[in-house]
Chains A and B, each alone.
Chain A
Amino acid sequence: MHIPNGLLDPKVSAGTAFAAAGVLGYCVAKVRQALSAVVPESVLAGAGNITAGSKKLISSFAENHLMRMGAIGSLIFAAQMFNFPVNSGTSGHLLGGVITAIALGPFSGSIVIAAVLAVQSIFFADGGIAALGANILNMAIIGTLFSYYIYYFINRIFRNDVGFYFGVMLAGFSSVLLASTACAVEIALSGSMPIDRILPAMASVHSVIGLAEALLTVIVLEFLSSMKFELEGRIKIE
């Protein structure tokens, strides 16, 4: 699903890059807001060694959250390295968008997947640098942020464990299918291949990959829960 260089029209590359940058910027702002602890100036003055202008401190929650982002990011990076065969000549790998979104929250999840894609593109030539915006839009935003809300709404409707697992599986499946559909549309808009050829081809392969993604998402989240890893994006139903 990683689009290489040369497949996208410059207009599509630029458009997707702007869209990705805009949404990622919003995600970064939301995460900063959630992690910044605002401390009254009177408290800072009492601390003595902090300059008068400093009003925001990094809390231990924020420190732990950043470490969790790094840890989950490195695991997703590793998991994306291993391909599983789909049919002759085609293989797939875990996307991990819904895993990161439920483990870390949707905004942090998108940032982590975007960072993984950037590292893969810059250091491992997995996905073109010119197509990085499109890849972030497809996998970090549609495959992570948007797909999280599929889980969110299903969980809100069912309000039990069945709803959680069903939501996770459907979100995992949809994340791959939606990201691959977006990828097909971008390639078609660039004129590299007609939509009636690329869309069925992408959808058929990625619906199989999506099934594996759905299953792996449940397994990984269950594993993290069993290890007492706090799933920050998990909806708590009273």
Chain B
Amino acid sequence: MQKRFTLITFLTLLFVICHLSFAYAIRPLYTEDAKVTPLGDLYAESGLLLLTNRDNSGVKELVTTLRYGFALDLEGSVDLPYLSRFSSENNYDGLSDGNVKIKYNFYNGYTDFASFMVGFLPGNFGTGTTSNHSDINTMLMYANSFDQFSYNLNFGYTFDGDNSGAPKSDYVIYNASAVRPLTKAMNIMGEIQYSRNTYTLTIVGEAAIGLNYRYNDNLTFDTALGCGLNENSSSSNFVVGLTYLVPLSWGNK
């Protein structure tokens, strides 16, 4: 199972790398976009994730992300997640691990982009909805397009900030996504996510397919359905959300 999953991921990555050329990954996908928010613009993304595990426990997570273009090639963003964790034994509601990220677009080709991102995930809220330690996340992103398809590739590493003396569980992350326009206003997209715990060597893989609908320049709706690719992954997940341009930048347009 693990070998087959690794092979599928490898082939997807290979396929994506072979078709080089303007792309961006967009909500509702997890794959990070290599493009940065335009200078002076403030975008907000709000989304709900409904994830069910194989033991029928799960989470409902409402995340609002604020993205701001600080410079031509530099974006800062903050994730504000509110999480509701449910299982047969306990239910928790509360703030979850946030994420403060800086993304730098260091390569702007004719059609392709490459960026680097550093994120700080503060999680010391001492509730049942946080990890109770702060992690550091780094990620390299590449985007390109081929014909009507756009692709995004991520390679990330999360440094475990748990100083309780437990063995360090870092994560290696690979994401790949493809986006294709269906109509002038609608895109269809798919992705594969893969993460590997460097201590337990556990692999978590998820695949998702989604749609987004651009209503106008200010508002985009999205939805996605996903499933786990192995026994360590979720049983299913469902995402609904929207991206909107915050009025702050309207005066600049």
Contacts and interface: CB of A to CB of B under 8 A. Distances in A.
Interface string A215-238: 000000001101111000000000
Given A74-B221, A228-B218, A82 B213 contact: no
Interface size class of A (residues with CB under 8 A): 10 to 19
Contact of A74 (B218, B223, B245): B223
Main DSSP-derived SS at the A contact region: helix
A77 B183 CA distance: 24
Given A74-B223, A74-B240, A82-B84, A227 B218 contact: yes
B219 A67 contact: no
Interface in B77-129: 84
B50 interface: yes
Q: Which of B50, B186, B240, B241 has the most CB of A within 10 A?
A: B240
B250 to A, nearest CB: 9
B48 interface: yes
B36 interface: no
A81 B60 contact: yes
Contacts of B192: none
Contact of A229 (B48, B50, B185, B215): B215
Contact of A82 (B60, B185, B219, B223): B60
A78 B247 CA distance: 24
Interface string B170-206: 0000000000000101100000000000000000000
Contacts of A64: 185
A88 to B, nearest CB: 14
A70 B241 CA distance: 12
A228 B241 contact: no
Interface in B208-223: 213, 215-216, 218-219, 221, 223
Interface string B43-84: 000001010000000001010000000000000000000001
B25 interface: no
A224 B247 CA distance: 12
B157 interface: no
B147 to A, nearest CB: 24
The 9 A-B residue pairs with the shortest CB-CB distance in the complex, in nearest-first order:
A71-B221, A78-B240, A78-B48, A227-B219, A227-B218, A74-B240, A74-B223, A67-B213, A228-B216
Interface of B: 48, 50, 60, 62, 84, 183, 185-186, 213, 215-216, 218-219, 221, 223, 240-242, 244-245, 247
Given A75-B240, A77-B240, 20 more contacts: A64-B185, A67-B213, A67-B215, A68-B215, A70-B213, A71-B213, A74-B221, A74-B223, A75-B221, A75-B242, A223-B244, A224-B219, A226-B247, A227-B216, A227-B218, A227-B219, A227-B245, A228-B219, A229-B216, A229-B219
